[in-house]
């Protein structure tokens, strides 16, 4: 196992062996994001063949596989190369077999599902560092590999096949300058995916510029995007660069693009076509080099039909379109994300002893999470801050929708005066709209989906009227 690889990459890859495609893709993705070269195998026999064909520095090996079990594969690998480190992946019920594997010479083991996904790259780095100091390894050709290129890019935690496919698509297009439209409900992680695309692009050396189109007043957004010259309007006391200029040689992320005023859409279209910007009050346009990523939680096709969004701009934005599924459609990710959030928030709070009880994970899985990943994160951050004991039980979960019984609350309640006022305004607006939720959402200035969540939050039934 010496010498350079035929394709010119550095000698020594991480080999991930697992017969489950979801875990195989998840683990290899996390290791690649940490800077490692990774190859995969779906069986013990394929793993042995790969080790015979190319240089491998470390093997991440599932213990239970249908053709050759992990123990037998480990024995054959150790017979071929006693210095090759092997990390076992095992379910909780197979830990005794993993301990036996340690006696056979395995470097370490992790239990599936991982409490923290960063445990794997951390363990690989530690083992490779230890192996690099070994005289037996120093005699082998090629350097020990590890994370390269500074800090690793953002990791999006998922074991869902659909999300993994989206991440693979994102990775393939990241190095191009193609315009990308990200769609999905609020809280599904569109901004994180935009960061992922930027971090894996040639523009990663400059910070990504983010603009929330829904958060800027309509009379200011043109100046915000394109900049303005001194004296262009009342209050323009200085010349100001716009966000397109700030994103020169970087990535511009326009969040909530569906809220962009109709009057401004032709100007955005012109910038995308010509790659030139003219400041408000400016005389001549100038070139800018940017990559655009846009996101929306609305159906832009519905907005086009309603006359609120230009069809030509939609097609310019959606050269590549990636849709993020809601959390309720990938329930297998709830435990993975919950474990990660508790670890992160507990560390910040100095409560590293905190962990989720199995029945709590079951309760979290039962919840529909209308606010998606963002709601889950906010819920668990508050839970960690308020937790009294080291074991978080269902009754300790803070936030809407989970009760001490471990399931969704049957009767959502209003808990403070602000929410009481908001509920009454919604009821009154529904009455004005004749019970039409679509019209009420328009009058309230929110999307129908957001109104639906508010109705559900406050337990407002279809026929309820203000009192």
Domains of the chain, CATH where assigned: 13-138 (3.40.50.2300), 161-323 (3.40.50.300), 328-396 (1.10.8.60), 417-458 (1.10.10)
Give residue-wise pLDDT tens across range 19-75: 888 788 888 888 888 888 899 999 999 999 988 888 899 999 988 888 888 888 888
Query: Predicted confidence band at 95 (pLDDT cuts at 50, 70, 90)?
Result: low
What average pLDDT does this structure show over 158-181? 89
What average pLDDT does this structure show over 418-430? 70
**Burial 86-115, CB ≥16 within 10 A → b, else e:** bbbbbeeebeebbeebeeebbbebbbbbbe
Give residue-wise pLDDT tens across range 285-307: 889 999 999 999 999 999 999 99
- CA distances in angstroms from 301 to 162, 214, 323, listed in the order given: 23, 18, 14
* Paired tokens of 122: 């951390």
CA 325 to chain centre: 11
What average pLDDT does this structure show over 85-110? 68
């Amino acid at each position: 196992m010496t010498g350079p690889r035929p394709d010119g990459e550095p000698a020594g890859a991480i080999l991930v062996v697992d017969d489950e495609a979801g875990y195989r893709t998840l683990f290899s993705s996390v290791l690649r994001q940490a800077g490692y070269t990774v190859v995969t195998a779906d069986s013990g026999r394929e793993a042995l063949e790969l080790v015979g064909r190319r240089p491998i520095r470390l093997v991440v090996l599932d213990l239970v596989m249908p053709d050759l079990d992990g123990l037998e594969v480990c024995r054959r690998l150790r017979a071929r190369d006693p210095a090759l480190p092997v990390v076992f992946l095992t379910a909780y019920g197979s830990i005794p077999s993993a301990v036996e594997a340690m006696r056979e010479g395995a470097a370490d083991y992790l239990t599936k599902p991982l409490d923290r996904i960063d445990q794997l790259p951390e363990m690989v780095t530690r083992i490779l560092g230890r192996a690099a100091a070994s005289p037996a390894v120093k005699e082998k050709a090629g350097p020990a590999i590890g994370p390269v290129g500074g800090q690793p890019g953002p990791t999006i935690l998922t074991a869902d096949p659909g999300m993994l496919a989206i991440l693979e698509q994102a990775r393939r297009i990241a190095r191009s300058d193609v315009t990308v439209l990200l769609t999905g409900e609020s809280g599904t992680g569109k901004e994180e995916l935009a960061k992922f695309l930027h971090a894996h692009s040639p523009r990663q050396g400059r910070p990504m510029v983010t603009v929330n189109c829904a958060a800027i007043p309509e009379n200011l957004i043109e100046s915000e995007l394109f900049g303005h010259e001194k004296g262009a309007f009342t209050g323009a006391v200085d010349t100001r660069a716009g966000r397109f200029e700030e994103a020169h040689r970087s990535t511009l992320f326009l969040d909530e693009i569906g809220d962009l005023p109709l009057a401004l859409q032709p100007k955005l279209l012109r910038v995308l076509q010509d790659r030139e910007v003219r400041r408000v009050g400016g005389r001549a346009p100038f070139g800018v080099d940017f990559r655009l990523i846009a996101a929306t939680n609305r159906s832009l096709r519905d907005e086009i039909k309603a006359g609120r969004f230009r069809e030509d701009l939609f097609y310019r934005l959606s050269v590549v379109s990636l849709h993020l599924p809601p959390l309720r459609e990938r329930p297998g990710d709830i435990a993975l994300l919950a474990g990660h959030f508790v670890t992160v928030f507990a560390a910040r709070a100095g409560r590293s002893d905190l962990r989720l009880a199995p029945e709590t994970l079951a309760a979290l899985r039962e919840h529909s999470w209308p606010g998606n990943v963002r709601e889950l994160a906010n819920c668990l951050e508050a839970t960690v801050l308020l937790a009294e004991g080291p074991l978080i039980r269902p009754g300790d979960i803070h936030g809407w929708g989970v009760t001490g019984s471990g399931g969704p609350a049957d009767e959502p309640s209003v808990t403070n005066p602000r929410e009481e006022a908001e509920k009454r305004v919604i009821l009154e607006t529904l009455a004005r709209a004749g019970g039409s939720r679509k019209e009420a959402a328009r009058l309230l200035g929110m999307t129908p989906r957001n109104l639906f969540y508010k109705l559900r939050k406050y337990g407002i039934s279809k026929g309820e009227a203000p009192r």
